[in-house]
A and B are shown apart, each in its own frame.
Chain A
């Protein structure tokens, strides 16, 4: 069974990671290095265990383009999110034996090093993936 683990961040969080000053302190070089090395070994372990299907990190929310229909015509809005709005920041697709195992994997993300204010509001979601039309009973 496949599961998707989703993590979230705001534009403010991205600015902190990119070293761009906001109301919050920016990530120090040590913070950033600790996070990237955690992610590298986390991903490597999942890959070696044969459980990782795919993982991606997304770029800053400000680069989002939103499409909406107006009078039947798609209209593009650039950067539709507020500065502190938490939006999808990255995901992992894992294939493992149970929902509990996928949850266990996601729980390890809680140990990812980060500045205190970032860790305090971090959340991750785990959602089972609908595999095919058959699973959806279409």
Chain B
């Protein structure tokens, strides 16, 4: 077909459709005497149709272009909503639709709205490119089959649907920041992409306090990235980070965004988390951190969005204000919570608080318990090193 008619891509489409027609008709009508000739005839007809409709589309576009007023070619005035911007939002709402699984929402968002190729997304999530291609096309089919219109969600659903969009961006950011797997290089792209997308949504909805809060949270967290790993690639806990390596520009931008958002209200979980990040970022050292302020913010956060990880962080902050025993008391309640009882973080926090409380043997056992609950080698090395520091006088008599 391509040899006879040129138009390589269109010829390919036409041939595909001819093969499809053969697959549906031959079982019923029987295989024609000359199957090859049949396919070429059908494909040629189809090619003619495709080329005609392509010409018609161009004519229509030319007509529309002719009818467009010169001013409509220009960027809209600031007080007029931009059409293209609305399209991007509609697309984001669609990609993050609740009929899709989180993995599909993330993949589709990165592909359709983000600036990553399928190959890059596949690399970042450590799956073969073919798998990611299929995940994305499945997601598209799912949307098509569920009949969701490509339109702005009705006003009544918009808040909920926007929350879904923000959650997807938050997951993309965390995937890149927490670096649970894979070579660091490819993961950083994810955080950067999440920040870019959050900036985009913020530009489209500048008055939404939670959108602003999420962007601020990302910037205030990402600001610490340069100090998070040592020269040997090991993880450095926040208390021991070289704060002069934190990005002052990101902190300043994050704080400014948050300061503008907070009075606007209502205060949601992203703004509260951003506020907590800002208190850390503005402290000259771990000791000089305004811990009572952090405790208060965690208490607010627990009131609107409680989960075991928030409760764990709250316990750490309480320990910094009222001493390690107060923090350990709060951990007691979490040990019965199946969602986190087997989580490395719970055991690592308990180890840390036991160490602060002077219980070296208990702390050592808890560090080892935490190490057993992670498969990440740098994390294991960190936890074993902590345990080893407490080993020397383990057999020594207690004073």
Q: Contact residues of A with B, CB < 8 Å?
A: 17-21, 26-27, 29-30, 32-33, 36-37, 40, 43-44, 54, 56, 59-60, 63
B128 at the interface (CB under 8 A from A): yes
Q: B232: which A residues are within 8 A, CB to CB?
A: 29-30, 32-33
Interface stretch, picked from B265-273, B321-329, B333-341, B374-382, is B374-382
- Cα A19 to Cα B232 in complex, Å, equals 14
Q: B185: which A residues are within 8 A, CB to CB?
A: 40, 44
Q: A27: which B residues are within 8 A, CB to CB?
A: 381
B384 at the interface (CB under 8 A from A): yes
16 contacts between A and B (CB under 8 A): A18-B377, A18-B380, A18-B384, A19-B385, A20-B371, A20-B380, A20-B384, A21-B384, A26-B384, A32-B232, A33-B231, A33-B233, A36-B233, A40-B183, A56-B126, A59-B375
Q: A63: which B residues are within 8 A, CB to CB?
A: 375
Nearest CB in chain B: distance from A88 CB, A: 15
- Cα A44 to Cα B233 in complex, Å, equals 17
Q: Are B128 and A19 in touch, CB under 8 angstroms?
A: no
Q: Are A37 and B128 in touch, CB under 8 angstroms?
A: no
Closest to A56 in B: B126
Q: Are B380 and A19 in touch, CB under 8 angstroms?
A: yes
- Among A21, A29, A43, A56, find the residue whose CB has the most chain B CB atoms closer than 10 A: A29
- Cα A40 to Cα B187 in complex, Å, equals 13
If A32-B381, A40-B183, A43-B183 touch, whether A18 touches B233 (CB-CB below 8 Å) is: no
Q: Are A17 and B377 in touch, CB under 8 angstroms?
A: yes
Q: Are B233 and A37 in touch, CB under 8 angstroms?
A: yes
Nearest CB in chain A: distance from B380 CB, A: 4
Nearest CB in chain B: distance from A122 CB, A: 17
B234 at the interface (CB under 8 A from A): yes
Q: A40: which B residues are within 8 A, CB to CB?
A: 183-185
Q: Could you say which of A21, A32, A37 contacts B388, with CB atoms under 8 Å apart? A: A21
Closest to A37 in B: B233
Nearest CB in chain A: distance from B27 CB, A: 25
Closest to A59 in B: B375
Q: Could you say which of B184, B234, B377 contacts A29, with CB atoms under 8 Å apart? A: B234
Nearest CB in chain A: distance from B366 CB, A: 15
- Cα A44 to Cα B173 in complex, Å, equals 23
Closest to B232 in A: A33
- Cα A26 to Cα B232 in complex, Å, equals 16
Q: A32: which B residues are within 8 A, CB to CB?
A: 232-234, 377, 381
Nearest CB in chain A: distance from B348 CB, A: 15
Nearest CB in chain A: distance from B37 CB, A: 29
Q: B231: which A residues are within 8 A, CB to CB?
A: 33
Q: Are B388 and A19 in touch, CB under 8 angstroms?
A: yes
Q: B388: which A residues are within 8 A, CB to CB?
A: 19, 21
Closest to B379 in A: A18
- Cα A19 to Cα B234 in complex, Å, equals 12
- Cα A37 to Cα B185 in complex, Å, equals 12
- Among A19, A20, A21, A27, find the residue whose CB has the most chain B CB atoms closer than 10 A: A19
Nearest CB in chain A: distance from B309 CB, A: 23
- Cα A36 to Cα B128 in complex, Å, equals 22
Q: Are A18 and B128 in touch, CB under 8 angstroms?
A: no
- B231-244 interface mask toward A, CB cutoff 8 Å, 1 = contact, 0 = none? 11110000000000
Nearest CB in chain A: distance from B229 CB, A: 10
Closest to A63 in B: B375
Closest to B231 in A: A33
- Cα A86 to Cα B336 in complex, Å, equals 38
- Cα A63 to Cα B384 in complex, Å, equals 18
Q: A59: which B residues are within 8 A, CB to CB?
A: 375
- B366-399 interface mask toward A, CB cutoff 8 Å, 1 = contact, 0 = none? 0000010001010011001100100000000000
- Among A18, A29, A44, A56, find the residue whose CB has the most chain B CB atoms closer than 10 A: A18
- Cα A84 to Cα B380 in complex, Å, equals 20
- B175-200 interface mask toward A, CB cutoff 8 Å, 1 = contact, 0 = none? 00000000111000000000000000
Closest to B375 in A: A59
Nearest CB in chain A: distance from B42 CB, A: 30
Closest to A54 in B: B128
Q: A37: which B residues are within 8 A, CB to CB?
A: 233
- Cα A63 to Cα B183 in complex, Å, equals 22
- Cα A23 to Cα B377 in complex, Å, equals 19
Q: Are A19 and B375 in touch, CB under 8 angstroms?
A: no
- Cα A54 to Cα B123 in complex, Å, equals 10
Task: Give the contacts of B213-249 with A (CB-CB under 8 A).
Answer: 230-234
Q: B385: which A residues are within 8 A, CB to CB?
A: 19
- B274-316 interface mask toward A, CB cutoff 8 Å, 1 = contact, 0 = none? 0000000000000000000000000000000000000000000
